[in-house]
Structure 1
C-alpha cells in the first residue's frame, strides 16, 4: 500500500511539472517579460522567424532552419572584432535544380553594431581587378548591398552573389550556390525586411 501511494504521489508531481501548472504567470509575448525589463530580449525563435519564410517565391522549397553560434557567425563574416551578436539563425532553401540558398538572420545589440558588422564583412573583400564588388540595391523599403565574388566551379570561374542589409538591429544575409543573381534577389525580397 505504501508503494502504491508513493508511486501515485510521484506520478502526480511529474504530471504537474510537465503540464506547467505550477507557475501562474502568463507567458511572455515575443520573448519579453514586462515585469523584468532586463529579460526584454528577442528570443532565438524570433530570429528563426526572420530566416524562415512563410511565403516562398515560385520554385523554392524550404529545407530547414538551424541556429548558429555567435563565434561561428563572426568567423564566417570576418567580424571577430564586432561585439554584440545576440542570436543567429540560418534558413536553408533549395530550388528545382537542387541548388542551395541560405538566409542568415543576425540579431545584434543595436543598429550601430549592425552597421559595424556589415562594414567588417565588406572590408574583408579585396577589390576586384575590374568592375565593382559592391552594388547598392533597394527593396522592401530598405537599401541593401549586393556583393559579387568569384569562385572556381567545374573548372570555370563563376560569380556568386550575396545580399546583405540591416533592418534596425538585425542583419540579414541572403546567398546561394548559383551564378544567377535573380533567384537570390527574389529570395531577399521575399524576407519582407
Structure 2
C-alpha cells in the first residue's frame, strides 16, 4: 500500500458494542476506482464514513496522505431534503472555504457542474421543492464540484434515470483521468463494472477484494 493516498488497516467498527466491520484492509491509489459491494447493512456506508474521517474506527487505523483532499457524498436523508437551501446554495457549499470568498474560477466550476447535471435551470428552487432525482443530482454536483483527490460516494445514482446515471459516470471518468480516486458504494452492476477493483463486504464483518 506504499503508493496509496488513503488506506484502512485492520479496521473495525461497532455501533453500541455491536460489531459492524472487522479486519478491513483497503488501499486507495490515485486514479483508481474502487467499488464497495454487499447487502444492505453490510457496512458500506460505515466504511465510507471511516475513510472520510466522519467516524473513527474502534480498531485499526485509517491513514490519509498529508494534504489529501476528500469529498464525501453520503446517502440522501430526510434531513438533507428538508434544508431551506436553494440548489445553487447547496452546490456552492462544495467550493466554500472559511479563508476566502468564492472566486471567478469557483463560480465557473459551479456553473459548469450544474449545467452538466442539468440542474442549472433549478438554481433558485429549494431542495424540498425538487423531485428525488433532482435533489440527488444537486448533491452529486456539490460533491463533484470539489477539487478533491478522493471522491467517496454512497449509492450516488440510485435515484437517477439511465441518462442521468450516464452523465454521472462520465463526470467520474473525467475526475479519474485527472488522477483523482473514486470509492463508490453501489448495488448497480453497471456502476461496479466501471471499477478497477471490487471490494465486497459479505455481512460477516470481513471483506474480500476482487481485482479485475
TM-score range, shorter-chain basis? under 0.3
- Structure ranking higher in helix proportion: 2
Query: TM-score normalised to the size of structure 2?
Result: 0.23
- Structure ranking higher in strand proportion: 1
- Higher Cα Rg: structure 1 or 2? 1
- Structure number with the bigger relative contact order (C-alpha 8 A, sep ≥ 6) is 2
